[in-house]
Amino acid sequence: MKRENPKKKVKITEKILNIFRRSKTLRVHTYLLPSWIWYILFFLAPIGLLFVYSFWRMEDVFLIREFTTQNYVNIFTYREGMYVRLLGKTILMAGAITIGAVGLGYPVAYYISMRMEKHKYSALFLLMGPYLVNYLLILYAWRIILEPSGILNYVLVTIGLPRQEWFLWNWWTVIFMDVAAWSPWLVFPMFASLEKMEKTLLEAAADLGANPRQAFMRVTLPLSMPGILVATLFVLIPSIGEYATADLVGGSGGITYPVPIENYFHKALQWPLGSAMSFLMLIVILIMVSILLRKVSLEQIMESL
Amino acid sequence: MEIDVELINVTKKFGDFTAVDDISFAVKKNEFFSLLGPSGCGKTTTLRMIMGFEVPTKGEIRIGGENVSYVPPFKRPCNLIFQNLALFPHLNVYENIAFGLKIMKVPKAEIDKRVKEILQTVELPGFEKRRIKELSGGQKQRIAIARALVTQPTVLLLDEPLGPLDLKLREEMVIELKRIQREVGTTFIYVTHDQGEAITMSNRIAVMHNGKILQIGEPFEMYEHPDSEFVADFIGRSNLIQGKYNEGVVEVNDLGSVVVDGSRINNDCYASVCIKPEKIVIGEKLSGLDNVLDTVVKEVYYQGSITTYKVLLENNRVITVITPNIRVEKLFNRGDKVKIGWNKENAIVIEREA
């Protein structure tokens, strides 16, 4: 009897090892354990916490831990769907910011990649310049310029034109500032995918009778699409959730969906409603990302980076 | 004879560097014409000028009788097989081949038909839906050829397209290219540094060196009658023995006199005797030959169908000898004392600068 015991122990460890030997998925996820811990600790857990909050409710200053879907209903019904309209407006603004910033960044990326030889990398370095300064600082600087009593108006009045009140506190101010803030950054992924393109492909296109415009449409543009999509993701996702610009230069005209969220958390002590609104935003973003990713595979995107 | 491509006194300079130096040649219709030379000889620049990717500094380029020197590439009736093939990675085989036809606004049904036909010609039928990534090296070559031929250009230019292939595939493609050219009857201009490819495929070869054309002719003529040391050595690796020519004899320092056929050379000049390795006989005893020299075997390379010997002359010059292995009982070994010999009509004598 005594002799059989160690044998049994061996069998148990063997059994555990065999489970690992048999399942490749299990092995892979064992290797990924550190990543999983990071992912759970810093992303899933806090988000999960918010998710739970979004099904609770507040009574005065007390959190009532009882399940309710009232928060989600409230988002859609509050003031005849004001928040849904606000979310729609925010998405439209994010779309405009994306088109503006990608549209501005692409020609720059194209020029640096295709036309510049010597100073290619110095040019790219210069594009990082704006990010050496805190974005809030830039926003405040622009407030000084755009204010009704600001520099721009001072110039206008000096040369005899009427003072303009609409520069600040508008949705277009938010779009303008975000486009300006994002476009240099977006040059990088688009530059990368243009650089990756074999330049003889353009000669091949010309050789087969394509004029420069046709060559661009049929070769350069499709081959730089992964870079364009990465740039789109880079700007679209954050500009839906972007709060600082709207708060500092947007005013009431440029208010976006995250502004009331911040208010609910920060000022109104309405964490459950704020959480629910955040989750709705997350879902909208996930839907948009999955639509974009359908156009191009993840592999293509990662390769272009 | 109809001329398809003609270069008249074409020069191309990049800054101070003269890449192509006053060259002229004419390529006939349906000809397989090769530009042969070592890297940096100006052959690729010449090709790029014919394509329209470079503009000549001086001179004129004509295609089909028309001066195209300043016509942009997309308006020229010539297509190129790029060195790296330049197949569009985002398009499949069908879309790659159809690219030029779509630009030409050929109707869809016609495109389908022509893509199908050209895939037959390059022996890859049914490959329409394949991705470029999925193709092997040889298949990519064929698709590149199909893509360039499907628009029926006047001239097809090829820029060392066989370079990246392994030897066996290369030999296969050389034969394939020749067959395709015969089948479609398009004029081919082939740029290469590989004399073997050029000799096998071409109707005529132009040998380029330092931006100049040294000699143009049929492969046979180029091989048998090179008119410069460079051509003699570049096409088929010649043995060159330098000396002073007079009255049918070349006097070589530390070696003695070599009997040559002097009908194409003037008396009293410096000359090179050029003998192809396979025209030299090697043996223990040789008789009845115009020239017989004593040598020592330095290296032996047995290659199956042939054996290559490197032998040392009395003046310490190395001579390469290639012998066919017909009924060989034994090979010579390193250090063996052997004689080599040849008749004067098997060697060429070329006048040279002192």
The verdict on residue A290 lying in a domain is yes
Identify residue B206 by its one-letter amino acid code: A
CA-based nearest residue in chain B for residue A300 = B90
Contact A209 B86 (CB under 8 A): no
How are beta strands B155-159 and B187-192 bridged, if at all?
parallel
Interchain pair B90, A222: CB under 8 A: yes
Q: pLDDT at residue A3 above 60?
A: no
For residue A213, give the CATH number of its domain: 1.10.3720.10
What number is the average pLDDT over the span B200-212? 93
Q: Choose between A20 and B341: higher pLDDT.
A: B341
Q: B148: which chain A residues are within 8 Å (Cβ-Cβ)?
A: 207-208
- Cβ separation A207–B74 shorter than 8 A: yes
Among B100, B10, B97, B98, which residue's Cα sits nearest to residue B48? B10
pLDDT tens, A55-107? 999 888 888 899 999 999 999 998 888 999 999 999 999 999 999 999 999 99
DSSP A12-75: HHHHHHHHHHH-HHHHHHHHTHHHHHHHIIIIIHHHHHHHHHTTSEEETTEEE-----HHHHHH
DSSP letters spanning A2-14: TTHHHHHHHHHHH
Share of residues in chain B with pLDDT > 70 (%)? 99
Tokens 């006047």 map to which residue? Answer: B154
Given a cut of 80, is residue A6 above it in pLDDT? Answer: no
Is A60 inside a domain boundary? no
H or E element at residue A238 = helix A221-241
Partner-chain residue, chosen from A204, A210, A214, that has the shortest CB–CB distance to B82? A204
Among B78, B88, B115, B131, which would you mutate to test the A interface (most chain A Cβ atoms within 10 Å of its Cβ)?
Answer: B88
Distance from CA of B261 to the nearest CA of A (A): 50
Q: Which domain holds residue A14?
A: 1-31
Is any Cβ of chain B less than 8 angstroms from the Cβ of A214? Answer: yes
Residue A217, chain B, CB below 8 Å: the answer is no
User: Is there a contact between B57 and B7 (Cβ–Cβ < 8 Å)?
Assistant: no
What is the full DSSP assignment across A113-143? HHT-STTHHHHHHHHTGGGGS-HHHHHHHHH
B175 vs B138: CA distance, rounded Å: 13
Q: Which of residues 44-83 of B touch A (CB under 8 A)?
A: 51-53, 72-75, 78-80, 82-83
A37: buried, middle or exposed (CB in 10 Å: 19+, 13-18, 0-12)?
A: exposed
Report pLDDT for B354.
Answer: 67
Would you give the distance in Å from CA B96 to the centre of its chain?
A: 29
pLDDT band at B130 (very low <50, low <70, confident <90, very high): very high
Please, what sign has the CA dihedral across residues A241, A244, A247, A250? negative
In a domain, A11, yes or no: yes
For residues A109 and B264, the model is more confident at A109
pLDDT at B330 over 90: no
Residue A155 and residue A26 in one domain: no
Does A118 share its domain with A183? yes
The model's pLDDT over B73-97, given as tens digits with 9 standing for 90+, comes to 888 988 999 888 999 999 999 999 9
CA–CA gap between residue A35 and residue A29 (Å, rounded): 9
Give yes or no: residues A27 and A74 share one domain: no
**Residues A231, A116: one domain?**
yes
With respect to residue A63, please indicate whether it lies within any of the assigned structural domains.
no
Residues A283 and A147 in one domain: yes
Q: Which residues of A touch B163 (CB under 8 A)?
A: none
Q: Which one, of B214, B187, B201, lies nearest residue B3 by Cα?
A: B187
Looking at the structure, tell me whether residues A128 and A199 fall in a common domain.
Answer: yes
Task: Let me know whether A212 and A151 are in one domain.
Answer: yes
Chain-centroid distance, C-alpha A299: 19
CB-nearest partner of A207 from B51, B90, B104: B51
Q: Flag whether A213 is in a domain.
A: yes
pLDDT in tens, B151-160: 989 899 999 8
End-to-end CA distance of chain A: 64
Q: How far is CA B298 from the centre of its chain?
A: 30
A201·B103 Cβ contact <8 A = no
Domains of chain B plus CATH, in order, are 3-224 (3.40.50.300), 237-351 (2.40.50.140)
In a domain, A51, yes or no: no
- CA dist B245 and B233 (Å) reads 20
pLDDT for position B56: 94
Instruction: Answer whether residue A305 shows pLDDT above 70.
Output: no
pLDDT of residue A224: 92
* Option in B53, B79, B90 nearest A208 (CB): B79
Q: Are residues A149 and A76 in the same domain?
A: yes
Asked if A198 is an interface residue toward chain B (Cβ–Cβ < 8 A), one would say: yes
Residue whose pair of structure tokens reads 């009845």 in the numeric block:
B288
Give CA A137 to chain center in angstroms.
21
Q: Directed axis angle between helix A221-241 and helix A171-196, to 10°?
A: 150
Q: What local confidence, expressed as pLDDT, does residue B14 receive?
A: 93
- Which helix H or strand E contains A104, and what residues bound it? helix A82-114
**Which pLDDT band, with edges at 50, 70 and 90, does A8 fall under?**
low
Supply B44's token pair. 């690729």
Tens-place pLDDT, residues A143-167: 999 888 889 999 999 999 988 888 8
Sign of the four-CA dihedral B192, B197, B203, B207: positive
Rg, chain A, Cα only: 27
Report the SS3 class of residue A155. helix
- Is B253 within 8 Å of B315 (Cβ atoms)? yes
- Which residues in chain A are closer than 8 Å to B75, comparing Cβ atoms? 209
Q: Examine the domain organization and report whether A251 and A147 are in the same domain.
A: yes
Q: Is B88 part of the contact surface with chain A (CB cutoff 8 Å)?
A: yes
For position A7, what pLDDT does the model report?
Answer: 57
With a cut of 90, say whether residue A48 has pLDDT above it.
Answer: yes
Q: Which two tokens stand for residue B129?
A: 């839906």
CB B174 within 8 A of CB B153: no
Calpha distance B263→B44 (Å, rounded): 37
What confidence score (pLDDT) does residue A167 get? Answer: 86
- Local structure of B228: helix, strand or coil: coil
- Checking if the pLDDT of B103 tops 70, the result is yes
Residue A252 pLDDT: 85
**Residue with tokens 């070994």, as numbered in its chain:** B333
- On whether both A125 and A222 belong to a single domain, the answer is yes
Whose CA is closest to B311, among B291, B341, B270, B285? B341
pLDDT band at residue B170, thresholds of 50, 70 and 90? Answer: confident
Claim to verify: residue A118 and residue A5 sit in the same structural domain: no
**Mean pLDDT for the stretch of residues B292-318:** 91
Top pLDDT among A3 and A278 is at A278
A204/B contact by beta carbon, under 8 A: yes
Q: Is residue A186 part of a domain?
A: yes
Say if the Cβ atoms of A219 and B88 lie within 8 Å.
yes
Q: Which residue has the higher pLDDT, B86 or B254?
A: B86
Count of domains observed in chain A: 2
Chain B: residue whose CA lies nearest to A221? B90
Asked if the model's pLDDT at residue A302 lies above 80, the reply is no
Tell whether B133 is within 8 A of chain A (Cβ): no
- The first and second tokens of residue A132, run together, are 């050496």
DSSP H or E stretch at residue B252? strand B249-252
What distance in Å separates residue B74's CA from the closest CA in chain A? Answer: 4
As a whole number of angstroms, the distance between CA B188 and CA B198 comes to 12
Contacts of B282 (CB under 8 A, 6+ apart): B309, B311, B321, B323, B332, B338, B339, B340
* pLDDT average, residue stretch A103-128: 93
**pLDDT, tens only, A178-236:** 999 999 999 999 999 999 999 899 999 999 999 999 999 999 999 998 899 989 999 99
| Residue-level pLDDT at B297 | 94
In a domain, A267, yes or no: yes
Q: Say yes or no: B151 contacts chain A, CB-CB below 8 A.
A: yes
Interface test with A, best of B79, B80, B99 (most A CBs within 10 A): B99
pLDDT digits (tens, 9 = 90+) for A245-263: 998 888 888 899 999 999 9
Q: Which residue of B has its CA nearest to A208?
A: B100
DSSP assignments along B17-60, one per residue: EEEEEEEEEEEETT-EEEEE--TTSSHHHHHHHHHTSS--SEEE
| Shortest distance, CA A197 to any CA of chain B (angstroms) | 10
Whether A133 and A223 map to the same domain: the answer is: yes
Taking CB atoms and an 8 Å cutoff, what residues of chain A touch B53? Answer: 203, 206
Percent of chain B topping pLDDT 90:
55
**Whether A204 and B88 lie within 8 Å, measured CB to CB:** yes
Q: What is the pTM of this model?
A: 0.79
**Short-list B80, B29, B31, CA closest to A209:** B80
Q: How far apart are CA B58 and CA A233, in angstroms?
A: 51
- Cα-based distances in Å from A193 to A178, A304, B84, B92, B309: 23, 5, 19, 20, 54
Q: Which of A193, A208, A225, A229 to mutate to test the interface with B (most CBs of B within 10 A)?
A: A208
Q: Pick A198's closest partner by Cβ from B75, B86, B147.
A: B86
